[in-house]
Amino acid sequence: MTDVEEEQPINPIPADVGEIIDQVRVEVSRLHSELVRYNLVVWTGGNVSGRVPGTDYFVIKPSGVLYDELAPENMILCTLDGKVVPGSLGSERSPSSDTAAHAYVYRHMPDIGGVVHTHSPYAVAWAAHGEAIPCVTTAIADEFGGEIPVGPFAIIGDDSIGRGIVETLRGHRSRAVLMKNHGPFTIGKDARDAVKAAVMVEDVARSVLFSRQLGNPHAIAPEAVDSLFNRYQNVYGQDPTGALN
């Protein structure tokens, strides 16, 4: 096989699918600025990915690239087994070190359209302590439908983190998991939804930590949590679309 042949995509991408991929590239690139805006990441840490609707692809950021240098054209297109699509835009770069974890989530949670990982300090503090964030504020009940659980410790680089995310969040209303000794991962209907969850998990992690300094925060009764979650997910706002599960 010649060098030219090796550079070609295994399966050429139809033009209409290419347009959708370009839209996801733009959105995923843009959303990384939200991680910086809300102080959820430092240096090159953290990542956002987005599933390409109607396909077996997702888009994720390249590894070790400064946030100021991220752009739609250097977002990386991957298959759902975590492989870079040969010959696609940005394919000369290495994808995020968390790509295998994101891919595992997309394969095993088909309703998920976005995955986010940050090292936001308050959420990381809970993850390092290995403790779930209890449902002691209405914000937690609204957004997560209960406590924010802790996932198992897992080594970075293969799909171990992805397995831990899926095992912890499958059947759980929370869109966030605190991977033990690591940090938060969030999921959503799309990349924007997952970024929102990342912003919110850091906000409530801070509030509950402050509350702990005053004493033992009071848990919200389960029936009240259910009511708050249902209202926020299905009634609140201009165009409610319901919870993931």
> Could you tell me the residue range of the domain that residue 92 belongs to?
3-234
Residues written for the chain: 245
Sequence-ordered list of residues with C-beta below 8 angstroms from that of 142, at least 6 positions apart, any chain = 228, 229, 231, 232, 233, 236
pLDDT digits (tens, 9 = 90+) for 96-137: 999 999 999 999 999 999 999 999 999 999 999 999 999 999
Q: Is 244 contained in some domain? A: no
49 within 8 A of 114, measured Cβ to Cβ: yes
Cβ pair 115, 167 in contact under 8 A: no
- Here the tokens at position 221 are 């009764």
What pLDDT score was predicted for residue 11?
64
Question: What are the tokens at 206?
Answer: 């801070």
Q: What is the CATH number of the domain that holds 45?
A: 3.40.225.10
Q: How many CB atoms lie within 10 A of CB 237?
A: 9
Residue 242 lies inside a defined structural domain of this protein: no
Taking alpha carbons only, the member of 186, 206, 208 closest to residue 196 is: 186
pTM of the model: 0.93
Average pLDDT over residues 34-63: 98
Residue 10's pLDDT band, with cuts at 50, 70 and 90, is low
Does pLDDT of 8 surpass 80? no
- 29: number of Cβ within 10 Å: 19
Residue 52 lies in a domain: yes
Domain count, the chain: 1
Distance CA 48, CA 201 (A): 15
Whether 205 is covered by a domain: the verdict is yes
> Side chain identity at 141, as an amino acid letter?
A
Count CB-CB contacts under 10 A for residue 170: 10
Q: How large is the average pLDDT for residues 37-59?
A: 98
- Within a domain: 127: yes
Q: Distance between CA 220 and CA 7 in Å, rounded?
A: 56
- For 51-97, what is each residue's pLDDT tens digit? 999 999 999 999 999 999 999 999 999 999 999 999 999 999 999 99
In a domain, 39, yes or no: yes
In 3D space, the residue among 150, 96, 97, 153 whose CA is nearest the CA of residue 126 turns out to be: 150
Q: For residue 239, is it within any domain?
A: no
pLDDT at 241: 79
